[in-house]
Amino acid sequence: MRSPHRTLRVSAVQRALVRDSSLVWLASGVVGVSFGAISVAGGLPVWVPVAMSVLVYAGSAQFSAVGVLLAGGGPFAAAVTGLLLNTRTAAFGLAVADLLGPGRAARFLGAHLVTDETVAFALAQPDPARRRAAFWISGLGLFVVWNLGVLAGALAGGALGDTAAYGLDAAFPAVLVALVLPALRRDARLRRSAALGAALALALTPAVPAGVPVLLALAGLFLYGREGAAV
């Protein structure tokens, strides 16, 4: 049986995580509105972005897949594009595998919630218990807010005009930088790996399709692993 003191402490931690996660949720909702509006304004029916967001739930990969569809590509080309860009979540999944908990249902749902934001937020926490709570709180909230935003944007359709003019594409990168800064301050090895990944992404951005630089930046993980093995 939990003591009142422990219950209060857990509640305080959860409230703090909800407060911190709310910034990510806000950015997610805004970008979700953009995705829904772009999809429907481009000619897709409302159910397409809504169903994609619930079943696929892949953020940038969804934008790329819809871009292929709106450019005249077929469903197969759109699916391949989305899968390619979303392969980075395989590495992310390994990083948070111990946070999902036991049981197939928890692992299945947890795998669906793995995103750049939930992983960054979870790994920025100081201990395993708080990392697990951060993953589930941020992940579930992000999923709900993203889908509500997509639905709102899809229903609004073209009424929002050119969503790119609002600078919505800068929301997620800004939030991600804020999330990873504490971890970068604590770990010099992580800073070197992140710098290598960022340099690769910047150097290759003019030469490869959108989204691919993010995948190539994962090469920084090899430096992190090698330095860790040498310690």
What pLDDT was estimated at residue 5?
47
What pLDDT was estimated at residue 22?
85
Average pLDDT score over residue span 112-124? 83
pLDDT band with cut points at 50, 70 and 90 for residue 150: very high
Q: Which two tokens stand for residue 63?
A: 């934008």
Rounded (5°) CA angle 142-171-210:
95
CA distance 97 to 86: 17
Q: What does R_g of the chain's alpha carbons equal in angstroms?
A: 19
b/e sequence 95-130, b meaning 16+ C-beta within 10 Å: ebeebbeeeeeeeebbeebbbbbbbbbbbbbeeeeb
Number of neighbouring beta carbons within 10 Å of residue 11: 10
Residue 124 near residue 4 (C-beta atoms within 8 A): no
What pLDDT was estimated at residue 143?
94
Over the stretch 45-74, which tens digit does the pLDDT of each residue have?
889 889 989 988 887 778 777 877 776 767
What pLDDT was estimated at residue 178?
63
How many Cα atoms are found within 13 Å in the side-chain-facing hemisphere of 150? 26
For the whole prediction, is pTM greater than 0.75? no
Residue 168 near residue 30 (C-beta atoms within 8 A): yes
pLDDT at 179 over 60: no
pLDDT at 198 over 70: yes
